[in-house]
């Protein structure tokens, strides 16, 4: 299969994901994701299979980009506490990221590589350390789309094991904080929720300031 045909298939998969999202939304299946109590009850209804449902839902939410993943992470914390909740959220996020990465790598990499060889600096595009660093930093920035960055990473020559390491390190803090927020919501300790949100804001702000300082130093 030629690179151009693979790229077309990748685009069609993206359209299919949007169609699935629209169907779910029209059928009000997404209502559970927008109601914390409904989502929590849904997870608990599966009993000992609840953790598996969290992992599956997180995986799907990552691979079908419009689906929100944060409510699932918060519900995981509410259902299983911040420790086990973090583990389940991390596992689901990693599975979804790997799925998105592999889809983009198989269907889109060759076509994008032709473009990159022509228009992008070879040193930038082929630097494994730089690409890994970009993935790691973007994982630490909650305002950047986790889903889109997973697909985008698959379109670069970044090695798979480097992608996995950068993803795990990058998403661990946010996974813990979201699960912790869910855990505190379940116990109604709102002051600790505010503290968790403050820590997340400080991490994000610190990364932005560090990036700005580094760019100024390179000028």
Q: What is the largest CA-CA distance in the chain?
A: 57
Helices 146-154 and 128-139, packing angle to 10 deg:
170
For residues 3 and 114, give the distance between their C-alpha atoms in angstroms, rounded to a whole number.
9
pLDDT at 36: 75
Element counts in the chain: helices (H) and strands (E): 9, 0
Q: How far apart are CA 209 and CA 24, in angstroms?
A: 40
Residue 162, domain extent: 3-17+33-218
- Tell me if 22 is assigned to some domain: no
> Is 43 within the bounds of a domain?
yes
In the chain, the number of structural domains is 1
Q: What is the pLDDT of residue 2?
A: 65
CA–CA separation, 83 and 178 (whole Å) = 11
Instruction: Specify the pLDDT at position 97.
Output: 95
> Looking at residue 115, what is its pLDDT?
63
User: pTM for the whole thing?
Assistant: 0.76
pLDDT at 191: 46
Q: Is 201 inside any structural domain?
A: yes
Beta strands, E only, the chain? none
What letter does residue 156 receive in the DSSP assignment? Answer: S
Low-confidence stretches of the chain (pLDDT < 70) are 1-4, 24, 27-29, 111-126, 142-143, 184-219
Query: Is residue 46 situated within a structural domain?
Result: yes
Whether residue 169 is contained in a domain is answered as: yes
Q: What is the pLDDT of residue 173?
A: 86
């Amino acid at each position: 299969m030629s690179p151009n045909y693979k790229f077309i298939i990748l685009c069609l998969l993206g359209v299919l994901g949007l169609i699935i999202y629209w169907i779910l939304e029209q059928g009000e299946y997404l209502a559970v994701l927008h109601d914390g109590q409904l989502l929590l009850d849904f997870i608990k209804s599966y009993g000992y299979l609840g953790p598996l449902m969290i992992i599956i839902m997180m995986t799907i939410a990552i691979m079908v980009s419009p689906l929100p993943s944060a409510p699932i992470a918060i519900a995981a914390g509410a259902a299983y506490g911040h420790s086990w909740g973090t583990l389940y959220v991390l596992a689901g996020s990693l599975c979804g990221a790997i799925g998105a990465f592999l889809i983009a790598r198989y269907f889109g990499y060759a076509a994008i590589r032709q473009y990159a060889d022509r228009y992008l600096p070879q040193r930038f595009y082929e630097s494994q350390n730089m690409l890994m660093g970009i993935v790691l930093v973007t994982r630490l920035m909650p305002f950047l789309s986790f889903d889109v960055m997973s697909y985008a990473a698959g379109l670069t020559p970044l090695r798979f094991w480097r992608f996995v390491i950068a993803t795990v390190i990058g998403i661990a803090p946010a996974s813990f904080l979201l699960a912790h927020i869910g855990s505190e919501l379940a116990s109604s300790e709102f002051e600790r929720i505010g503290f968790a949100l403050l820590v997340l804001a400080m991490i994000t702000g610190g990364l932005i300031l560090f990036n700005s300082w580094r760019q100024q130093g390179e000028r």
